[in-house]
Amino acid sequence: MVEQQKHFPVSWEELHRNAKALAWRLSETGPWNGIVAVTRGGLVPAAIIARELEIRLIDTVCISTYDHMQQREARVLKGFEGDGEGWLIIDDLVDTGKTATVLRKMIPKAHFATIYAKPAGRPLVDTFITEVSQDTWIFFPWDIEPQYSQPIIQLRGKA
């Protein structure tokens, strides 16, 4: 695993704006039977996209790969029935591709969309909004609280 060096905090407003931008892109490729939200990170984007695309049928796939900032082997806690034809898989982020690989095998015909994509996982998604470097750790609004942040120059040891 790449050592995370850069921090990218995402506000609720930014997340909403990017999820809505993802919905715009997905509206050009539908219609969709339903959404499969990847828990937990995909739940909020899936709700926004479901509203924007007027999709009422939402299921979940529950896969655990993270414990705070440490990645581990993917564990499927809840799967999905069917091959995913006409369905959207929505997640917040594709990182190393561990979760995405499991999803592609489990739901091979679904359209996989994320808000953020890192280079290692990017080839596994069909649609995304923003690409960030592999060494960036994204802090989603549900994971953070307002607090002091050191200036970048101090983090780099140049001050």
Q: Which of 12, 85, 86 is nearest to 55 (CA)?
A: 86
Question: Cα(35)–Cα(57) distance, rounded to whole angstroms?
Answer: 6
Cα four-point dihedral sign 100, 106, 111, 113 = negative
Which residue in the list 59, 67, 95, 135 is annotated as catalytic?
95
Of 59, 91, 126, 143, catalytic: 91
- Are residues 21 and 129 in contact, defined by beta-carbon separation less than 8 angstroms? yes
Token digits for 58? 């939402």
Active site residue 83: no
Distance of CA 126 to the CA centre of its chain: 12
Question: Catalytic: which of 59, 67, 92, 135?
Answer: 92
Tell me the CB-side half-sphere exposure of residue 136, using CA atoms within 13 A: 17
| Catalytic residue status for 67 | no
Residues noted as catalytic:
91-92, 95
